[in-house]
Amino acid sequence: MQRRGLLYVVSAPSGAGKTSLCKAIIDILPNLRHSVSHTTRSPRTGEVDGRDYHFVSKAEFDAMVTEGAFVEWALVHGNFYGTAVSSLESGRSGGCDLLLEIDCQGAAQLKERCPDAIFIFVLPPSFQELERRLKGRQTDTAEVIEQRLHNARIEMREMFWYDYLVINDNFDLASQQLQAILAATACRTEVLKDQVQCLFGEIGP
Ligand code: 5GP
């Protein structure tokens, strides 16, 4: 008997290492897939439409909002991002667990609409380390880095309503913690209940 796929929602301030962590565990766990979001931002070098994002125009995005096609959507750093209901349903009904890398605004909407989802917040070890990482990327101007640090302080206020916190100081340890969260979730009684009943039939109290 196949169980319905689980939903894991991961948020983090920019520079905390969320994307690398998510990629690492998707490479390790065969039943876990990245949920492909829709966005109005332009593709970056190396990004592939349909794999990294579904890249759409603002008009297409607006039409999807009007149709109610998104389970959540938000304006993040000047671009629109959203998770389509169809992306979630096709993955979950096939038994695949889905990892959603989305911002706190979208995560809060999902908390309302998908209360069975698991919410994980990834933190940098300190603001000093976050600043060091953002500067080390050498992709942003000093002004953009300041903005990202400012945004990080605001985003981190949200962490307390998430189910789990992962402090990404040591990458391997953070990746193990993330795997442990996923493994423990998959063993929850409410997750395994139907499967166990198929194996053993009704077991009375
Ligand atoms: P990037 O453009 O760097 O890939 O992502 C920028 C931000 O948008 C990140 O914080 C990322 O988690 C967030 N994001 C990506 N996809 C979604 C989505 O579908 N919904 C929401 N709310 N945020 C998203």
Comparing CA positions, the residue from 4, 25, 44 lying closest to residue 137 is: 44
Query: Tens of pLDDT along 87-110?
Result: 999 888 888 999 999 999 999 999
Domain coverage including residue 165: 7-35+97-200
Comparing CA positions, the residue from 138, 185, 135, 193 lying closest to residue 163 is: 185
Three-class DSSP labels, 59-112 = HHHHHHHHHCCEEEEEEECCEEEEEEHHHHHHHHHCCCEEEEECCHHHHHHHHH
Q: Is the CB of 111 under 6 A from ligand 1?
A: no
Which residue from 101, 110, 130, 151 has its CB within 8 A of the most atoms of ligand 1, so it is best to mutate? 101
Token pair 């603001």 is found at: 127
Query: Tens of pLDDT along 116-136?
Result: 999 999 999 999 999 999 888
Comparing CA positions, the residue from 91, 96, 102, 97 lying closest to residue 182 is: 97
Token output for 108 = 């809060």
Q: Is the CB of 10 under 6 A from ligand 1?
A: no
| In the chain, alpha helices (H) | 18-28, 58-67, 85-93, 104-113, 127-137, 142-156, 171-186, 189-200
Q: Is the CB of 118 under 6 A from ligand 1?
A: no
- Asked if residue 48 is part of any domain, the answer here is no
Which residue from 102, 120, 134 has its CB within 8 A of the most atoms of ligand 1, so it is best to mutate? 102
Count of positions (residues) in the chain: 205
Measured between alpha carbons, how far is 21 from 18 in angstroms, rounded to an integer? 5
- Asked if residue 161 is part of any domain, the answer here is yes
- Asked if residue 116 is part of any domain, the answer here is yes
The residue contributing the CA closest to ligand 1 atom 14 is 102
Q: Is the CB of 72 under 6 A from ligand 1?
A: yes
User: What order do you get walking across the sheet with 79-84 strand by strand?
Assistant: 54-55, 38-39, 79-84, 70-76
Tell me what pLDDT residue 113 has. 95
- Asked if residue 13 is part of any domain, the answer here is yes
From residue 150, alpha-carbon distances to 46, 120, 130, 135, 169 in Å are 29, 21, 11, 14, 20
- Asked if residue 143 is part of any domain, the answer here is yes
CATH of the domain at 148: 3.40.50.300
- Asked if residue 184 is part of any domain, the answer here is yes
Domain count, the chain: 1
Lowest mean pLDDT among 78-87, 111-120, 157-166, 195-204: 195-204
Cα angle 122, 126, 131; round to 5: 100
Tell me what pLDDT residue 12 has. 97
Tell me what pLDDT residue 1 has. 67
Largest separation between any pair of C-alpha atoms in the chain: 64
Query: Tens of pLDDT along 39-78?
Result: 999 999 899 999 999 999 999 999 999 999 999 999 998 8
